[in-house]
């Protein structure tokens, strides 16, 4: 049986020839422009057109895109920024990097995205911005966050790092706030050959500030332009993107159907099905108290898994001083219970059946073993 790792093996094998040719062309171009050249401009134009944003600013990473956006909307030393307690480090780290104060709020226990009610209670007179983050397969409740930002006079930075291509109520992810951020790193939805990020916005000032800072107009000399190889690769990689996402959604639907009867055995699936509004399929995660045993069981059968964000941000040493006494029971629970299973588009139906059978097998024996 072939191993089924969590991250897709040889993800870019089909693009090998084209990629080598692209690198050769950039390398031999008399302009010798390796960073922020014509391919970057073309990618920015394409993403603008695709999302309907007036401006797209391509930079080195999703994290730097977040930092550019936060700085551009006015996050400066002492400013508070409301961020989710469950998620990856850059969400809070980029705030700290600007001298700001991340204020954590808990997430919804089922969709894992920032809970608008929890975010609202975290707002103080020092709050500058709120950063809803789309996670795994669900967009945050952007209409609610828009209303909150409007009513409380906050700026809204939409972390759509993993939601490129998703939409809610007909409006693209990334387009709901004062600025939106995408990551095009290797294991994000579009998937580049390395790192890459994009800020989208309609605001002239925000765009101008992002562009200036990206191009090095900063006292600390920081600059973070996207390179030409990444941009050229991403332009190419957009072909087939919809089909890959559709295949992932199809696999997710099969998982959700197959695992529905396991709720009694203590397994919960995330609501991952398309075409519900605001749903996409980047990561398919299971929630169970027996997460580590399930992971070991799947590993024995050659199936890779991944645990996302086991330690909530406010409990990490880098951010503990910002956490205060607040508690984040949902972020804790999800950190302890989530187990993501493979959902890459190259899985065929047989692979998917094998993964389903392995998960079901674990819970069948688990039910038998439990004393009644």
Name the DSSP letter for residue 53.
-
Whole-number minimum distance, CB 182 to ligand PLP, in Å? 9
Whole-number minimum distance, CB 155 to ligand PLP, in Å? 17
Residues that bind ligand PLP (CB under 6 A): 61-63, 66, 87-88, 90-91, 133, 159, 161-162, 183, 185, 195, 197
188 belongs to the catalytic site? yes
Supply 178's token pair.
Answer: 């004062």
C-beta of 107 vs 294, nearer to ligand PLP: 107
CA 65, distance to chain mean position in Å, is 13
C-alpha to C-alpha distances, 183 to 76, 115, 154, 188, nearest whole angstrom? 23, 22, 24, 6
C-beta of 72 vs 185, nearer to ligand PLP: 185
CA 112, distance to chain mean position in Å, is 12
Whole-number minimum distance, CB 106 to ligand PLP, in Å? 16
Q: Answer whether 282's CB lies under 8 Å from 163's CB.
A: yes
* H helix intervals, 52-98: 62-72, 90-97
Closest-by-Cβ residue to ligand PLP is 62
Count of Cβ atoms closer than 10 Å to residue 86 Cβ: 30
C-beta of 47 vs 355, nearer to ligand PLP: 47
Q: Answer whether 65's CB lies under 8 Å from 198's CB.
A: yes
Whole-number minimum distance, CB 347 to ligand PLP, in Å? 22
Spell 322-337 as b/e; 16+ CB within 10 A means b: bbeeeebebbbbbbbb
C-beta of 59 vs 303, nearer to ligand PLP: 59
Residues noted as catalytic: 188
């Amino acid at each position: 049986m072939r191993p089924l790792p969590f991250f897709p093996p040889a993800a870019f094998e089909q693009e090998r020839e084209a990629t080598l040719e692209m690198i050769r062309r950039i390398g031999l171009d008399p302009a010798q422009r390796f960073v922020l050249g014509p391919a970057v401009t073309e990618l920015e134009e394409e993403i603008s057109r695709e999302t309907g944003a007036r401006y797209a600013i391509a930079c080195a990473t999703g994290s730097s895109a977040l930092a550019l956006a936060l700085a551009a909307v006015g996050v400066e030393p002492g400013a508070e920024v409301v961020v989710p307690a469950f998620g990856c480090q850059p969400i809070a780290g980029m705030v700290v990097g600007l001298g700001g104060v991340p204020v954590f709020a808990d997430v919804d226990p089922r969709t894992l995205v920032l809970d608008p009610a929890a975010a609202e209670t975290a707002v103080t007179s020092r709050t500058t911005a709120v950063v809803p983050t789309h996670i795994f397969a669900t967009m945050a409740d952007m209409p609610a966050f828009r209303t909150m930002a409007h009513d409380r006079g906050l700026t809204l930075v939409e972390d759509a790092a993993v939601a490129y291509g998703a939409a809610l109520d007909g409006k693209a992810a990334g387009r709901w706030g004062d600025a939106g951020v995408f990551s095009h790193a290797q294991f994000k939805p579009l998937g580049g050959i390395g790192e890459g990020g994009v800020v989208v916005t309609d605001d002239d000032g925000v765009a101008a500030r992002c562009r200036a800072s990206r191009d090095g107009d900063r006292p600390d000399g920081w600059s973070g332009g996207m390179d030409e190889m990444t941009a050229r690769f991403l332009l190419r990689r957009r072909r087939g993107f919809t089909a890959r996402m559709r295949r992932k959604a199809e696999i997710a639907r099969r998982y959700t159907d197959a695992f529905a009867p396991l709720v009694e055995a203590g397994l919960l699936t995330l609501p991952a099905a398309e075409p519900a509004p605001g749903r996409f399929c980047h990561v398919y995660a299971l929630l169970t108290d027996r997460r580590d045993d399930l992971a070991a069981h799947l590993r024995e059968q050659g199936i890779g898994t991944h645990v996302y964000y086991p330690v909530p941000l406010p409990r990490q040493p880098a951010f503990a001083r910002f956490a205060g006494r607040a508690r984040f029971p949902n972020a804790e629970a999800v950190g302890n219970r989530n187990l993501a299973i493979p959902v890459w588009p190259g899985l065929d139906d047989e692979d998917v059946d094998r993964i389903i059978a392995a998960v079901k097998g674990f819970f069948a024996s688990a039910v038998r073993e439990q004393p009644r």
